[in-house]
Structures are given as C-alpha cells and as structure tokens.
Chains A and B, each alone.
Chain A
Amino acid sequence: MSISTTSEKGIEAISEQEAAIVVRDLVKRYPKSEVNAVDNISFSVKQGEIFGLLGPNGAGKTTTIGVLTTNVRPTSGAAYIMGINVAGDPMSVKQRIAVVPQQNNLDRSLRAREILTFHASYHGLSRAERAARADALLNELGLGNRGNEMVRRYSGGMAQRLMLARALMHSPDVLFLDEPTNSLDPQSRLFLWDRIRSLKEQGTTILLTTHDMEEADQLCERIAIMDKGRILVLDTADELKKLVPGGTRLELRVRVPQRVASGSLQVEPQTPSSVLAALRAIPGATKVEEVPASEGEEDMHTMQIFRLYAEDAGSLVVNATHAIIDIGAEIRDMHIARPSLEDVFIYLTGRNLR
C-alpha cells in the first residue's frame, strides 16, 4: 500500500546519528485496555526539525509524547532521544527535553519568575545563570513586568508563554509542544509561531501535536497523521496534500435565474441540474459536485455552489465561464482552491466524531 511506503520513507530518510528522536516499533497498551493506544509506530525526527503529530482525539498522540517524555513506559519497541534510550535512562533524557503541556501545570504556589528560577535549579543551573536567563526569557516573552506576580492571576495566553519560558530555561535539545496554541488568541498564536520558528533556527528540535491544520502547515517540516494508534502517513505538508484525489478544485458560485427572458436568448428556464450537466461536460474535470449554500445566506434559493476537481483546476476556468454564460446564469464568485491539510486529514481519518 502506498500509505505504508510513505511512512517508511520517513524513517529511513534520516540516519541514526543526526536523529534527535527515534521511535522504533513502539507499542503501548494500557493495563485493562483491549486495544493498543499506540500500535507499532516508527518514525524519527532529525535535529533542528519541526515535526508535527496530527490526529483526532484518542489517536495516540499524547501517549506517544508520554513515552518520549518518560512518563509512559512502552509495552514493546523503543524510543530514543539524542541517542539515549528513554525507558533505559529517563534521567538523562529529562536533562535534554522540555515539555509545554496542553493543560496549565504551573506551580501556583510560586511567583512567575520563581517558576523559572526553580525550574532552572532543578536542572542544576547556577544562581547567576538562573537569574540572567529568567529575566531574559521573561522580557523576550513579553512578561518582563509581570514576573513578580503569582500565576493565579495569569491569563491563558500569559500562562502559555510562561510555560514556554520555563521549558527554555535549561536549553533543551528537544522541545515537546502538546497543542501549544489551543485556546490562544490570534496575537498569542502568531507570537508563539514566531518563537517556535526562531527556536528551530537555534537548532532546537521540536515535536508538536495540534488539531490546527493551519498551524501544522505553517510550522512543520514533516507531519505524521495518526489514527487509532497508527501512523497513517508521514511526509511534508505538500506531499500529503497530493494524497487527496482530484488535486486542485475550482469553486463557482452561480446565480441561476428562475426564468431567463425568453425573448433575447432562446433558452428554456434553467434548473441547477442542467448547470451541473453543462459543467460535467467540460473536458478535464475529474469530478463535479454541487454543494448546498449555507443556511441563512443571502439569495440562498437562487445561489448554487459547484466544485470542479481537476489535476489543474486553472485550466477549467475558461470553459466553465463559457458554459455558465451560455446557459444564461451568472457567475458571482470563482476561485481555485488547493486541498488543505484538513482535507487530507478528513480524507484519511473520516468524518466520524471521536
């Protein structure tokens, strides 16, 4: 199957020496569970790469991160961080990694700056280093004047930034971000994206999980899509998009008059189905479909939306325009869409709710 070859390509592309993360035949089955939470996955991430782990809830992303960050013991298989076996020497792994979790787990008994300095002292930084790095990171993350506050008063975005600052205090080689921008405002999200990119530039390896397809598209060099404990595909965003059949699509919003003035154009009143038939006749269109206009939209009853799929949807523009004008309908909007990661995601994992 083509899907499994893409995931194998993901492993072999990187030699063991330059890999920051290696996961080999990893299986995790929780006690009393019937199924494997992680079901024989393998992948590796090279140093300085941003790697995305996507998948619906319950796909096994968090368990995978759990294994890599020492708090889930694998049932079989192995994981390595910077060449160190995670299950065999968790203490050395913990020196080299940092985690920004989904949930706020800041130490609420401490002030913001103390959270950073204590974290650094757990990791053995000297007093002077702790102070200097804490101040630098607080300033860099826009928390410079809030360092002496208790974090109970912090907003969600501030807490997220402080957790990132905490993670960076001991200069980890590998940074794990579990849905880092979930529930952040757009400003904080863009800010975090910039920070993630600049960390990559400094050589930090980043593994992030997300539901946000745009985020994965923007940040990740390679993406693995997981479902039911398995990696379905692993490749660059561009390659993944090619998996959706039909390639690009041309989307048309067409207004079809109920009755075209019969005097000027000798045509019968048009129905949407005849528009559909006309569009289907266009050479090069692999698939044509009508999608319902959304509820409450203006002209809902006279507006039709059509999607034409083709390897190169741009080549359909001229023919489609002619076909619609010939029918006597009116084009209100036309654009070419490329499949998004979301299309890939839905195509691979289906529409069912988890």
Chain B
Amino acid sequence: MNTTTTTSSTTLPGELRVKRSTSRLAIATTAFLAILRRDIVVTGREFIVFLIQVLLQPLFFLFIFGKVLPSIGFARPGFAAILLPGIVALTVVTTALQGVTLPLVLDLGFAREIDDRLLAPLPVSLVAVEKVIFAAMRGLIAGAIIFPLAYWILGNGYSVRGDAVGTIIGIMVLTAFAGASLGLTIGTLVKPEQIGLMFSLIFTPLIFTGCTYYPWGTLDSIRWFQIVTLFNPLTYASEGLRFAMVPAIQGHTIPTLAMGWVILGLSVTFVAFLFIGIQTFRRRVVS
C-alpha cells in the first residue's frame, strides 16, 4: 500500500510538468528532427501535387526540344542527349530554390506559420538550415524522377553514360544544396508583394543563362554571353551533369567545363548563399 501511494503521488505532478532533457545538443537535435519530420509529412501528403508542380515544365521541355524539334528537323538528332543534363540540373535547382523561397516569402511576410518552429528550443539558424536540407531533398527527388520520365518521352533518343553514376549523384546533391541556399537568401530578401517581380527578374534569367539548352563550350562565338553564364550557378550544374551523362558520340566526347570548376562553382554558391541566407534569415526573425 505504502509503495503505491508514493508512486502515485510522484507521477501525478509528472502529468502536469513535462520532463526535460538536459543536454542542449539532444534538445536541439530533437527539435530539428521534429521540424524536418513536419515538412516530410506535409509534402508527403500532397506528393502528387508536388510532382505536377515540379515535373510538368521539364516534361514539356523534353518533349518539345528533345522529341519534337529533332523529329521535324529543327534540331540535330543528338540534341536530346545534350539537353537532358541541362533539364535535370534546371529541375534540381528550381525545385530546391522554390522549395525554400516561396514558403519563406509568405511565412515571413504575413502567414507567420513558421513562428511555432522559431519558438522551438533550437537556435533559429537551425530552422533556416532545416529549410535548406529539406528543399535540397525535394530537388533531388524531382531531379531523379526526370530520368525515367526522359526514358519514356525520348524513347531511343535517350542516352546516358552508365559509368559515372556516382559523379551524377554527387553533382546532383551539390546542385540541390546550392539551389536551396540560394533560395534561402532570396526568400529572406523578397517581400510578398514582390513575388511576381521575383519570377521575371530572378527566375527567368536563371533559367535561360544557365547553359541548360546549350553546352557552354559552344558559346565561344558569343564571348560576352559565355562570360555572363559563368555568374549563374546553374551553368556549373548543367556542365557538370553534361560531363557525367553525355556518352561519347562516335568516339567524340563533348567538351564541358572542367570538373574542378564545376565543383568550385557549386560549392562557392552553396557556402556563400548559406552564410548570407542565415544572416538575412536571422535579421528577419530576430529584430
């Protein structure tokens, strides 16, 4: 009898007062993983909508530029092979970038749905880091789905090197993180009323100056434009994937930017914009 009374009297307050872990690292890690789980649950629930959002555009690009144009003679038959790495890079970058930017602009602007996560017991910069990691995951998933999609659309126009899968994955991962950190910076700087402007002023140049539809080496004749493209991180992603994906045609490999430059360009983008983005994020949420 005595023991039961003691236990019940100690457990009762326990119902009211939550037990707290004492290690700061454990507390922050728990909160971080819970926030990541929240994003996975939300995206998982609308996965079909997510797929339509991110895949419809590349699907049409592949169909028109990779299938229709070569079929009617406006593009060379090998064009699809050169186009595909560009489309994969574009999909990874835009999906990762928009995965941070759009929700963040709305959240920081007026929805404030992020408040509850900012009040979770972890440094607010980790809330920004979580956004980057999750958006990079979304970018990678979207990029990976392009491959079977391209196989289906391009038919016998589909040709990808099979001996550099590791390089392909490595570049895609780096591309996803570069795109997501760029998205973090943009998302913390753009105001909700500027969303329309952001699409035309940032996304359009990003899409068309990123060596998506043309290899960088062929721009020799338009030197100034060739230099402009070097300021677009998408260029490094497209060229890196082109190197790892386009098979040699009749013994000729397609010239691309050197892998060293590709890795450098993507890494610098990732690190610099992650750093800037975390600063601007902090400034937006802690005044």
Q: By CB atoms of chain B within 10 A, which of A105, A108, A166 has the most? A: A105
Closest A residue to B103 by CB, please name it.
A109
CA distance A94 to B123 in the complex (A): 10
Contact between B27 and A91 (Cβ–Cβ < 8 Å)? yes
In A76-120, the 8 Å CB interface with B consists of 90-92, 94-95, 97-99, 101, 103, 105-110, 114-115, 118-119
Contact between B286 and A72 (Cβ–Cβ < 8 Å)? yes
Which segment, of A9-17, A63-71, A215-223, A249-257, faces chain B?
A: A63-71
Which residues from A are CB-within-8-Å of B117?
122
Which residues from B are CB-within-8-Å of A114?
41
Do A123 and B120 contact each other (CB < 8 Å), given the known contacts A73-B286, A110-B42? yes
In A117-131, the 8 Å CB interface with B consists of 118-119, 121-125, 129
Which residues from B are CB-within-8-Å of A166?
116
Which residues from A are CB-within-8-Å of B119?
69-70, 94, 97-99
Interface assignment of A170: CB less than 8 Å from any CB of chain B = yes
Interface assignment of A266: CB less than 8 Å from any CB of chain B = no
Contact between B16 and A108 (Cβ–Cβ < 8 Å)? no
Do A91 and B123 contact each other (CB < 8 Å), given the known contacts A121-B37, A124-B30? yes
Which segment, of B107-115, B138-146, B169-177, B192-200, faces chain A?
A: B107-115
Categorize the interface residue count of chain B: 20 to 34
Interface assignment of A352: CB less than 8 Å from any CB of chain B = no
Interface assignment of B69: CB less than 8 Å from any CB of chain A = no
Which residues from A are CB-within-8-Å of B38?
107, 110, 118
Interface assignment of A202: CB less than 8 Å from any CB of chain B = yes
Contact between A92 and B16 (Cβ–Cβ < 8 Å)? no
Interface assignment of B121: CB less than 8 Å from any CB of chain A = yes
Which residues from A are CB-within-8-Å of B272?
none
CA distance A72 to B124 in the complex (A): 13
Choose among B16, B20, B42, B45 the residue that contacts A202 (Cβ–Cβ < 8 A): B16
Which residues from B are CB-within-8-Å of A110?
38, 41-42
Closest B residue to A72 by CB, please name it.
B287
Choose among A95, A106, A108, A121 the residue that contacts B20 (Cβ–Cβ < 8 A): A95
Binding site for B on A (CB under 8 A): 30, 66, 69-73, 90-92, 94-95, 97-99, 101, 103, 105-110, 114-115, 118-119, 121-125, 129, 166, 170-171, 202
Apart from the given pairs A101-B115, A121-B34, A171-B18, 13 other A-B contacts in the complex at a CB distance below 8 Å: A73-B287, A91-B24, A91-B28, A94-B119, A95-B20, A97-B119, A105-B115, A118-B34, A118-B37, A122-B120, A123-B120, A124-B30, A202-B16
13 inter-chain pairs at a CB distance below 8 angstroms, sorted by A residue, are A71-B286, A91-B27, A91-B28, A91-B123, A94-B119, A99-B115, A101-B112, A101-B115, A109-B45, A109-B113, A122-B121, A123-B31, A124-B31
